Amino acid sequence: MTTSSEIQELAIVTGASTGMGAATARELARRKFHVLAGVRRDQDANAIRGPGVEPVILDITNADHIRSLVHRVQSDPQGRAVRALVNNAAVQANVPVEVFAINEWRRMFEVNLFGHVAMTQALLPALIRSRGRVINISSVGGKVAMATYGPYAATKFALEAVSDSLRREMAPLGVGVVVIEPGAVRTEMLDRAIATADKLVSAMTPEQNQRYGPLVHAVNSQAASSTKSGLSADAAARVVAKAVTASKPRTRYTIGREAAVIRLVGLMPDRTLDRILSAALRPHYPKGSKDHSIATAGHQVRDHHHPE
């Protein structure tokens, strides 16, 4: 017979090596879950291992890894039920549509969408038995596709759609489906995204660089600036944990002040939103660039249109 202080249920968190994933794994462990924390390298496993956190090597695009995880769940030595699957793993690169190679588009969809679908399909039988919960980590980019966010936003828009459909399919079966939409959160993901963007930009043709170089610089500068003032990964993890544990969770939770802006998106004409996003980006262009001059001249009368 178990006592109330003993861990009763399993929670699975993908992309748990760093950032929100690692913070979520630890937060759920503090709340007495036994967390299977998906990581891709042994060194990450050693870093995340702790009371209530069991690392598992998991690349969500690898079918063998997913099968191994399912076997681990099915053969749990204590017969614990699965309370939640937190689909958190993601890759990001802020690159113009023209420049992002098609094989890179496919890779991003494999990680940010198809991998989550594969994980969900594999674990739904266990979640249906336990009347558990699927938590999909989306983004502000799942509602608003800013310049250079096309590939990343496309995967998150798609994840939002899959989540809506899955929620309606699972409602009669007692499985909750919740979307988390973070804005700026202080994690290592931004540094990786900027490094990826810089690598891809360095391979642009001179013509492409003339078209997009200042824009990519501005977007990365804006992202770095907003992230510095963003929420900590621990604060974001508490929102995810709330979505896992609430008796009547919302269908969506936003994280951060930028995320709150998405509530207004559906109320604005597209051109108005375009102007707001352009005005917010204007201060981040390299001084003296043609794009900075055009943006400044084109939006001098629109300074009040600022998303914050």
Point out the residues that are catalytic: 138, 152
Beta-bridged to residue 253, according to DSSP, are 180
For the chain, the residue count is: 308
Which of 228, 209, 213, 216 lies closest to 93 in space, CA to CA? Answer: 216
Instruction: Output the CA–CA distances (angstroms, integers) from residue 103 to 40, 54, 234, in the order listed.
Output: 21, 33, 34
Q: Alpha-carbon distance 26 to 52, whole Å?
A: 8
Phi, psi of 246 (to 5 degrees): -60, 140
Which of 137, 170, 186, 176 lies closest to 19 in space, CA to CA? Answer: 186
Asked if 150 and 97 count as a contact pair (C-beta separation under 8 A), the reply is: yes
Beta-bridged to residue 216, according to DSSP, are none
Asked if 149 and 109 count as a contact pair (C-beta separation under 8 A), the reply is: no
Please report how the helices 206-228 and 270-281 are oriented relative to each other, as an axis angle in degrees rounded to 10.
80
